[in-house]
Structures are given as structure tokens and as C-alpha cells.
Structure 1
Amino acid sequence: MRKAAILVAGGKGTRMGGSVSKQYLPIGGKPVLMHTLQAFAEAEPGILLVLVLPGGDFSFWKKLCEECQFSLPHELVAGGESRFQSVRNGLAKLPLATELVAIHDGVRPFVSKEVIQTSFWEAEKSGSAIPVVALKDSLRKVDVDGRSAFQDRSGFRLVQTPQTFQVGKIKEAFLVEELAQFTDDATVYEYQGWGVTLIEGNIENIKITTREDLEYAEFLLSRR
């Protein structure tokens, strides 16, 4: 299996309130995670899909799959105490033959086919592929004393996932001890002294975090 995708949903994610984590909430009649898995399967037929969930959620997830008649093949891996640890657990699950891996937030179900395919193509060529989008709003930097200063937004980008890498290099990167500066997989990779390659993301590739995001997700589905 040459290509793999690790979908990370190892946290409890209950910021929306209620007892059900955001990755299991329905949009379009089925849980968010099923849409995300389907996006990768459609973009890269035959890809190995690794889903990282809290260990105690396996039975609940399997029940959801039965209820929704969701039969897309995927491997389950127990998450860790942090995203860093969850990704490391997912990487450990990859077969030795895997050459490229996309690491993706499980609650980003609207990543485009083009972004997924481009990320693998670029990672194969340069070692990494990080999707980004330009900022639309004005940007200000706020100091600890409350004073702020204008920042030129043309020099900044918003970072998305999937963040795709050559497997050997990203596995090596994740051998280090976890640091607070590791906000995503790209920062872990960069810690080795390797530069990352940016690719164009898609603006609809939102991370579903709040109730408002869930409502917007329903709108995006209605446009398909």
C-alpha cells in the first residue's frame, strides 16, 4: 500500500456542548468522519485509511457504521493524550511499504479532491506538502499591554490539512519528544531543519469546531 491517510480524531471534542464529540455529529444524515473518509477514498482509490479515535470510542464508532451502513474499509487506532501522540500512534500503524502519508483533521470533511491529489504529488517530489489559503481580513498584532499594530496580511497564510509527507521523513520527525511549539505536523517536520512546501488549499476546507461550523457544513453539503 503506497499511499495512506491518517485521519486524526483522537480528542473528545465537546466544545459544542452535549455529550457527543463533534466528529460523530451528523451532517447530511451521517457523521462528519464518514464524509472525511469518503473524500479520501474518492480522491485516491485504494488508499489505506487509518482513523485515530479515543480508544474507548471504538464500539460506539462501529455501531454508527452499522447504523449508517458505512462499509468503507479503514483501520482504527487509539489516540493519545495529545494530537502529537495520536499522529505518532497512527504512523506506527502504517505498513512498511507505505511511501506517502497524508495527515488530516478528521473534522475537515470538505477537503477537495484536487488538494488531496496535489498534496501527494508534491510530497513525492519535495518531501512535504502543506495546504494554505490567503487571509481575507485585516490583521493586527496585539502586545501583552493591549497595544496593537497593523500587519501586512500578504505575508501570512492560514494553514490547513492534509499535511502530506514522505513516510520515512515524517516518522523520523516524530521520534522526538513532544514540544509546545508543535502546533501541527509541519512544525514537527520543520524541527528537523527541513523546509516545508506550501500548496494552495481550498477555502471550503473548514475545521468543524462550533455549532455555527456545523450549520455552515450543512449549507456546503446542500450545494453539492
Structure 2
Amino acid sequence: MDYIIIVAGGKGLRMGSEIPKQFLPIGGKPALMRTMERFHEYDEALRTILVLPREQQDYWHRLCEEHRFDIEHTVVDGGDTRFASSRNGLHAVPDDAEGVVGMHDGVRPFVSVEVIRRCYDLARRCGAAIPVLPVTDTLRHIDKDGCGHNVLRSDYRIVQTPQTFDIQLAKRAFQQPYQSRFTDDASVVEALGHKVEMAEGNRENIKLTTPFDLQVAEWILRNA
């Protein structure tokens, strides 16, 4: 049995909105619902776990009633960090479960079904997989003097979600104490010494962070 953990703990501060960004509408529907629908489209049998701050959960339930949102899911409390939120989500997966668990940003509503499938299939074979994109802009490493130098962009990749793992591997990884180098879920698994494979991502899989991102999201929806 496979699982997806949707982590949605944003407060929308950079959006300049009082409404948390995962609840902001895209085409009249909260972004978080569109995210969850994409995984339901991939596999209706996928077990969905939604990680939300406790103070946002009542509002979420009202939104589900208002939009008649009926995708079955389990809601668990968010943590103070991404690491803690992902760990809380994993606690909702049975300890003896076998299969693949994905971890996805709630504000990435345009991940393609093909990317989801690639990540789950690759994790099934290799234990851990993340979607990535090549870097198209020039990158510059900033030195201590503030000047820095250009680096080869071919040496880097842009990392997206879902990040997918063998369930038992993920559970072992998140038993580790938190470290500042845990910048995403894959870095937690890598700390065990396990290699993380890369799958091709999709450009539309943007993370909604600023008001401009919402404008891009509306354009993507209209032109999908």
C-alpha cells in the first residue's frame, strides 16, 4: 500500500495575505485541494495524509464542506519545522506498512501525474527518488567578501516534490534527531547513507510563495 503525505504548514506571509497560502484559490478552488486531486488522479487507492497546523484544521474542514471535497484523507498536526511535520505525517503510516510513501508540498498543485508516477516507480526500485529540473539561469557562489564567482550550472539541479521513499527506509530516517542540514525530506534519508535517485520533474510544478506565483498558477490552469 502506497501513501502520500501532503505537508501544508504555510502562513502566507510572503503572499501578503491573512489567508494561509495553501487555502488561496486558483480558479475558484483552494490550491491545496488541487494538489490533492492531482495525486488522486494518479492513484485513487493512494492513502492520503494531510499535515496541517492545528489552528488551521477547522477552517480546512469548513472549506471541504463548502467545496464538497470528498477525497478521503487523514489530517495530522503540523510541527515547528518541515522535518517535524513530515515526521508527524509518517507517524500516521502503520509501522508495519510496506510500499512507497511520498512527501509533497501542499502548495505545488501542478505536479504532473507522469512525474508522480516516475517518482513512485523509481522509489519502488531504488528506495528513494526526487524530481529535479536542470538549472537554466547562471549561478553565482557568493564568497565571504560578498563578490563570489560563477559556477557551472550543469553541476546543479532544481529539486521539487514529491520526494518518494520506501516506507521502512523513511521511518528509519525520521527516527534521527533533527539537524540543520535537513533542508528537505531527501536530505534526512541521505543522512542514513542511502543514495537518492533523480527523476525528471515538470516546469509547471511551481511552489506558490509570492503573489506573482498565483498569477502564474492562474495562467497554467487556463492553459492546461
Fold shared per TM-score above 0.5: yes
What SS is found at the alignment partner of 2:32?
helix
Number of residue equivalences: 223
1:14 Cα offset (Å): 2.5
**TM superposition score normalised by structure 1:** 0.97
CA contact (8 A) 2:133 2:200 kept: yes
CA distance in 2 between counterparts of 1:91 and 1:179 reads: 18
Query: 2:145: which partner in 1?
Result: 145
CA contact (8 A) 1:11 1:79 kept: no
Query: 1:89: which partner in 2?
Result: 88
What SS is found at the alignment partner of 1:177?
coil
Query: 1:74: which partner in 2?
Result: 73
CA contact (8 A) 2:10 2:22 kept: no
Please tell me the root mean square deviation across aligned C-alpha atoms, in Å. Answer: 0.9
Q: Write the letter of the residue equivalent to 2:210.
A: T
**TM superposition score normalised by structure 2:** 0.97
What SS is found at the alignment partner of 1:15?
helix
CA contact (8 A) 1:44 1:117 kept: no
CA distance in 1 between counterparts of 2:35 and 2:115 reads: 13
1:12 Cα offset (Å): 2.3
CA distance in 2 between counterparts of 1:171 and 1:73 reads: 23
CA contact (8 A) 1:10 1:78 kept: no
Query: 2:181: which partner in 1?
Result: 181
Query: 1:15: which partner in 2?
Result: 14
Q: Gaps (5+ residues) in structure 2? A: none
CA distance in 2 between counterparts of 1:58 and 1:98 reads: 29
CA contact (8 A) 1:104 1:161 kept: yes
What SS is found at the alignment partner of 2:4?
strand
1:72 Cα offset (Å): 1.1
Query: 1:6: which partner in 2?
Result: 5
Query: 2:107: which partner in 1?
Result: 107
Which string of whole-angstrom CA distances, capped at 9 and with x for unpartnered residues, describes residues 48-104 of structure 1? 011100011111000011111111111101001111000000000013334210100
Greater shift, 199-208 or 146-155, is seen at: 146-155
Q: Gaps (5+ residues) in structure 1? A: none
Query: 1:41: which partner in 2?
Result: 40
CA contact (8 A) 1:8 1:106 kept: yes
What SS is found at the alignment partner of 1:103?
strand
CA contact (8 A) 1:4 1:98 kept: no
